[in-house]
Amino acid sequence: MEPIKFKLKTKLTMKTKVEINWDKPEQQDWLCAGNIQAALSAHCTNTKFEVKELDEITGSESVYGFCAWLTTRKEKTIMSSKSNAAIIADLIQEFCNANELTDPRDNWTDFLKHPK
């Protein structure tokens, strides 16, 4: 199943992200932002919803994109166990901000697998 991501938000204060996994039926048009907004509006008549599909980059796209950006910069970027990590951390933050990526979770290192 391919996940489809939508962002739902009200004009007041609440914002909710929802991921919908579906089995790709023959008529794929029915599960679109407009139909989801119509269903929510019909069910919750006292709330105005804005529903839009999210165009988010994947984890691997982020890694490739970051490395591509580093190779096109005029400044040299040196990364090693003997180098100052603050420089690369600043560049990562700059790349994440430019691509509107979410901040890492508190336990993000628990999910990493390093090649040997």
pLDDT tens-digit profile of 14-65?
Answer: 677 777 777 777 777 777 888 888 888 888 888 777 887 777 788 889 999 9
Tokens of 69: 């950006």
The structure tokens listed for 28 are 């794929």
Residue 16 dihedral angles phi and psi, to the nearest 5°: -130, 135
17 contacts: CB under 8 Å, gap ≥ 6 = 5, 6, 7, 8, 54
Q: Rounded distance, CA 22 to CA 19, Å?
A: 10
Predicted confidence (pLDDT) per residue in 102-114, tens digit: 888 888 899 888 8
**pTM attached to this predicted model:** 0.55
Give the domain ranges of the chain.
2-53, 59-100
